[in-house]
Amino acid sequence: MTEPAAALDRADAEKRMLMRIIEIVSSGTDLEHVLNATIGLVLEAISADACFVHLLKEGEDRLTLRAASEPYGDAVGEVVLHLGEGVAGWVAEHRESVVIVSDKWSDPRYKYIPELGGDRYTSLVSVPLISPAERLIGVVNIHTEQQRIFTSDEISFLEHVCSLVSAAIEHAELFESLAVKEQQLQGFVARTVQAQEDERRRVATEIHDGVTQQLISIWYRLNACERSMPVDPAAARAELDAAKDLVDEALDEARAAIYDLRPATLDDLGLVPALQALASRLFGAEASVAIDTDIHEGMPSHLETALYRIAQESLNNTRKHACAKNVTVAIRRSPDGIFMEIQDDGSGFDLDVYRSARPQTSFGLSGMAERVDLLGGRLDVRSRPSEGTIVEVHVPIDNVRESDDV
Ligand SMILES: Nc1ncnc2c1ncn2[C@@H]1O[C@H](COP(=O)(O)OP(=O)(O)O)[C@@H](O)[C@H]1O
Ligand SMILES: [Mg+2]
């Protein structure tokens, strides 16, 4: 090819690449599409044989494989690397590209990942994905079967592509997480409605089996008392005493049912006394519970209710699962809102096991997370077998939507 012809050809190829980058950047909100289109583009531009995109979720310290060229589709979602682990982990930690042309096995940064066919490839380039706001969002790894020297033009092209598509990936990720939140919210609403129905059925059954039956017995006792009165005042007296005992029982039962529905102490005395009453009912002398706060003025009532329900679930878990001796609940003002911490010195549990095998019937911890999410806050649960459990809730006070009664 003559030199001008080759130059024209290159200009044409560059124009096509540019068009494809523009297509990816403006393609919108489908994360899978954005990632796969990026992989297609990179493989073609560099004539490479495999490409993997590992993404870092905000707030996490692990990269998860989110897209891969074929035949590695099955590994998507399965390969997880900690920061610093493998070449991708190193690149994520140092925000710097890495090129390994040969003998990757002797490079201390290299980690063999059988699912990604590590032994088929010789040379590799790994480039960080950094968003316009300087957030590291992931790493792109490119491999070739034959040994290959990457030119500085190719590497700078890759870095440019990665920096351009980073914004598109970030948007798509944001959209995906909003869609997940929306779905969670719908699930939460459905479960809340179901829980209300179940609660109504429970209360109806409780009234029917409890107070109603007691009222019927009282009616019989009073009738018997009326009949005995003229002929046998002592028997009448006994019937009256029995009726009074039944009235006491019925009252206790009605009070307990009402308290379950809405703790009166929460309305009358506020969050901390309500939690104190709850803790002493739950634990009695079994464990010592300290409740500590620096908040003395009232909080919005829906926020108090939400914190009460979260603490209630957490204390129920401690009571049910932990065999703890000491429990502390701290509620404090933080610079941007409210911070609540429930800590126990009980048996603890393995969070990874819980996450991977959460039984469909366990809604306690996930319900707590949903409640906190609705308040625009954050829930952290820290636990290890035999090291106790800490549940932390941060709720920003400005974000608390006054109308939400959660
Ligand atoms: N404070 C705790 N101490 C020990 N284990 C806990 C504690 N809180 C939660 N767990 C563990 O986490 C699991 C999930 O809790 P949760 O979602 O509330 O469901 P459930 O209480 O219905 O089992 C529990 O089954 C238990 O194994
Ligand atoms: Mg529970």
- Average pLDDT of every residue of the chain: 86
| Residue range 220-238: mean pLDDT, rounded | 95
| Residue range 15-34: mean pLDDT, rounded | 77
Distance between Cα 185 and ligand 2 center (Å): 20
User: pLDDT tens-digit profile of 169-199?
Assistant: 888 778 878 888 888 788 777 777 777 777 7
Distance between Cα 119 and ligand 2 center (Å): 46
Place of tokens 């911490």: 341
Q: What is the pLDDT of residue 17?
A: 75
User: pLDDT tens-digit profile of 43-74?
Assistant: 888 889 999 999 997 777 899 999 999 899 89
User: pLDDT tens-digit profile of 376-396?
Assistant: 889 999 999 999 999 999 998
Would you say residue 401 has pLDDT above 70? no
Q: What is the pLDDT of residue 208?
A: 81
Report which of 232, 328, 249 is spatially closest to residue 288, judged by C-alpha positions: 328
What is 3-182's CATH number? 3.30.450.40
CB 278 within 8 A of CB 315: yes
**317 Cα nearest atom in ligand 1:** 8
Judge if pTM exceeds 0.85. Answer: no
Pick the most confident of 156-160, 189-193, 287-291: 287-291
The residue whose C-alpha atom lies closest to atom 20 belonging to ligand 1 is: 362
Ligand 1 binding pocket includes 317 (Cβ within 6 Å):
yes
The residue whose C-alpha atom lies closest to atom 13 belonging to ligand 1 is: 354
**344 Cα nearest atom in ligand 1:** 1
Ligand 1 binding pocket includes 38 (Cβ within 6 Å):
no
Ligand 1 binding pocket includes 312 (Cβ within 6 Å):
no
Distance between Cα 354 and ligand 2 center (Å): 12
Q: Of 313, 315, 317, 358, which is best to mutate to test ligand 1, by the most ligand atoms within 8 angstroms of its C-beta?
A: 317
CB 275 within 8 A of CB 284: no
Would you say residue 103 has pLDDT above 70? yes
User: pLDDT tens-digit profile of 117-153?
Assistant: 888 999 999 999 998 888 899 999 999 999 989 888 8
Ligand 1 binding pocket includes 348 (Cβ within 6 Å):
yes
Ligand 1 binding pocket includes 322 (Cβ within 6 Å):
yes
Ligand 1 binding pocket includes 342 (Cβ within 6 Å):
no
Q: What is the pLDDT of residue 406?
A: 38
Distance between Cα 316 and ligand 2 center (Å): 6
| Distance between CA atoms of residues 97 and 91, nearest Å | 6
The residue whose C-alpha atom lies closest to atom 18 belonging to ligand 1 is: 364
Report which of 363, 372, 362, 299 is spatially closest to residue 342, judged by C-alpha positions: 372
Q: Of 310, 318, 321, which is best to mutate to test ligand 1, by the most ligand atoms within 8 angstroms of its C-beta?
A: 321
Q: What is the pLDDT of residue 50?
A: 94
Query: Residue ranges of the domains in the chain?
Result: 3-182, 264-406
Longest dimension (CA), the chain: 130
Pick the most confident of 282-286, 288-292, 369-373: 288-292
Would you say residue 3 has pLDDT above 80? no
Ligand 1 binding pocket includes 364 (Cβ within 6 Å):
yes
Q: What is the pLDDT of residue 399?
A: 45
Contacts of 329 (CB under 8 A, 6+ apart): 275, 279, 289, 290, 291, 292, 311, 315, 340, 341, 342, 343
**346 Cα nearest atom in ligand 1:** 3
In the chain, % of residues over pLDDT 70: 93
| Residue range 298-326: mean pLDDT, rounded | 90
| Distance between CA atoms of residues 406 and 393, nearest Å | 15
264-406 under CATH 3.30.565.10, yes or no = yes
Backbone angles phi, psi at 350, to 5 degrees: -90, 110
For the CA of 359, the nearest ligand: 1
Q: Of 323, 349, 360, 387, which is best to mutate to test ligand 1, by the most ligand atoms within 8 angstroms of its C-beta?
A: 349
